[in-house]
Structure 1
Amino acid sequence: MEWFPEHVIDREEECNPPGTVVVDVNIHSGEIVSIITVEDTSYTSLMEFQSFEEMVSQIETITDLTYGAHFKLKEEKDQTYRFQAYLDKILSPIGEIEVRLDENGRLLSYLKYGDFPSPSSHSQRSLLTKEECMGIIQQQIRLIHIPSLEEEAHILVYGLEEIYIVGEDRFLRPYNIVQHNGTIVDVHQVLTWDTPLQVPFEQGNVFFQDNISLDEVKQKATHPDLLPISDEQKQLCIAAVTDCLRQEFPNDSGKWEFARIERHNGYIHGILHPLASHDPHSVFKTKCTMIVNPETNKVMTYINNEVLMAPFKEFAAAPKAVVTKAEAREKLLSRIELKPCHIFNEEKGQYVLASLLDCDYGVHAVTGELLRLADI
């Protein structure tokens, strides 16, 4: 919905004049999810706040949430207020609200996204301490090669691979899997074939569209990226990817591992790793992504990141490690963090309390120096 300033009589077609208020509403719940003033100009006093409490009260009215129970302020800077979901007495980025005001307290923008679950809708669990996670910490410390652009060399570093730890049972969830919002199915299959395909591979056009029809909205249709992947569709995808390899890499039978299938932007992505160039210590993993049309089960195109990593192959190789893994762990312990957070449990259909095991530092495997990984 759009509201124009009262003084605007004529306007250019398809153009909103400064001060226009654009409001997006959830068609199912009727809740306002965003308010934007064009060119950060506000002419109405209906959205003017004299105090922080008045602004929070308006947010509570719009969202039907309660401050201090469902959301709390995370930070305020230059008249921009960022709120996050508040669950188990911790702030959580599973839900966020941002409010921007001008110098007079008038609303410039409002944005709400994510989830703000009630305390009764999640699983209450206690958090583990760092001492209780020593075995997991030891397991997650990796010896990795990091290419340094400044030195044009690979640096050998002990670092911590981030992971989510859930509850007293210490259930582990990989960081990259939790960050992906679509359906994922593990495959872990080496692809082999007896004969190549003589038919040339035909590149298809891929259109990443995120538009839905009004009928789909009314029917509350599931987003394509959240649809399940059946065993039949999994096998069809494996067959399609294998055929593409037989066309494009006919001599590579047994040289590729099909790692997993992911849904992205309405397509199915097959993630492959070449076995020959697989370096367990490399921070960057060579992979080939096959983009499959879920309707035709044909590979439309593929993306090989080996080209992007080619410059690193010219860098000087890293020397052998002098520091042991145990020594590196002792140096990293004080820098390792267990950050409380919430992740969605698909089986239970609710958010559960978890800890993100993370560390911004690494240990140089030759000199033993403690390094900030972002500075390498």
Structure 2
Amino acid sequence: MEWYPKQITEQPDDDCNPDGTAVIDLAIHSRRFNSIIFVGGISHAVGNTFDGNDSIIKWIERETGLKYGQQLKIWKQDDLKIHFEGCFNGVAVSPSGFIDFELDENGNLVFFAANGPFPSADTFQQEEFALSLADVVPLARNQFKLFEFPSFEQEKWFPVYGLEEIYLTNNKSETIPFFADVRSSLKIDKILQWDSPSPEPFTRREINLNETIAT
């Protein structure tokens, strides 16, 4: 949804929203804000002025239904911008949701965006932390991997050590891949069929993607 400032009475010729336009994305099912953007960082709205973190946090709790300190916390703050991340009782979680919040110099809201999942208490099994440094050091050593990257400018390969991140369960029974929650592909298991052949002729030709790299 978009709202022009009162002084704008006609659609701009370039089809671009003028400064001060409020662009709001609302989740239909929850009726909560996904994002609030004031174009150009200029707000003409009344009643969205904040005087500190306390008022910002109260507004976010009211509009999102999240609890500060239990489900989200401040990750980074830079002048008029605050970045929140998901947590469980103050402990960072993964995958994590993020909230970006920005004010202008007068304390007016000019940008808000909420993305990703935020945890609720019923999704966690609470227990005492049982891991120690001695438990993770051998595992960490095994996570070091040697990679070789080509340099096209110098025409040679460079060895680089990297640390593959993983998660270790509290009872040390298993590890969880860092990207376990990311789905890189989706198995459809369905045969593609064409109703009619393409009228365009197909000419087969060989493609060579090899490049010579000095070692």
Q: Answer whether TM exceeds 0.5 for this pair.
A: yes
Say if 1:62 and 1:158 are closer, same or farther in 2 by CA, change over 3 A.
closer
- 2:117 aligned partner, one-letter code: D
Task: Determine the C-alpha separation between the residues in 1 that align with 2:65 and 2:134.
Answer: 40
Alignment of 1:269-288 (within 5 A): none
Matched, 1:38 2:39: yes
| Structure 1: distance between partners of 2:151 and 2:174 | 35
The structure carrying a bigger helix percent of its residues is 1
- For these two proteins, the number of residue pairs brought into alignment is 199
Superposition pairs of residues 204-243 of structure 1, within 5 angstroms:
229=187, 233=189
TM-score, length-scaled by structure 1: 0.47
Q: Which residues of structure 2 form unaligned runs of 5+? A: 195-207
What TM-score do you get using the length of structure 2 for normalisation? 0.78
Counterpart code for 2:2: E
Q: Which residue of 2 is the match for residue 60 of structure 1?
A: 61
Post-superposition CA distance 1:298-352 (Å, at most 9, x none): 9xxxxxxx93xx45x4132xxxxxxxxxxxxxxxxxxxxxxxxxxxxxxxxxxxx
Q: Given that residues 4 and 19 in structure 1 are in contact (C-alpha distance below 8 angstroms), is that contact kept between their aligned partners in structure 2?
A: yes
Seq. identity, %: 30
1:2 match: 2
1:143 maps to what in 2? 146
Superposed displacement of residue 112, structure 1: 0.3
> Who is 1:134 aligned against?
137
SS in 1 for 2:55: helix
For 2:214 and 2:130, the matched residues in 1 are separated by: 43
Normalized per residue, which structure has more strand? 1
RMSD of the alignment, in Å? 2.7
Deviation at 1:95, TM superposition (A): 0.9
| Secondary structure of 1:74's aligned partner | strand
Taking a change above 3 Å as real, the CA distance of residues 7 and 158 of structure 1, as seen in their structure-2 partners, is closer
Per-residue deviation, 1:159: 3.9
Report the 3-state secondary structure (helix = DSSP H, G, I; strand = E; otherwise coil) of the residue aligned with 1:94.
coil
1:110 to 100, 109, 112: 112
The 1:295–1:31 alpha-carbon spacing in structure 2 relative to 1, beyond 3 Å, is farther
Question: Structure 1 regions of 5+ residues with no counterpart?
Answer: 185-224, 234-293, 299-305, 317-376
Q: Match of 1:87?
A: 88
- In the alignment, is residue 124 of structure 1 matched against residue 126 of structure 2? yes
Q: Once structures 1 and 2 are overlaid, which stretch shifts more, 149-158 or 52-61? A: 149-158
- Asked if the contact 1:147/1:315 (under 8 Å) is kept, the reply is no
CA contact under 8 A between 1:142 and 1:158: conserved in structure 2?
yes
The equivalent of 1:315 in structure 2 is 214
Please state if 1:50 is matched with 2:51. yes
Give 1:179 deviation, angstroms. 5.6
Alignment of 1:265-304 (within 5 A): 296=192
Q: Distance in 1 between matches of 2:141 and 2:111?
A: 46
Q: Distance in 1 between matches of 2:161 and 2:116?
A: 35
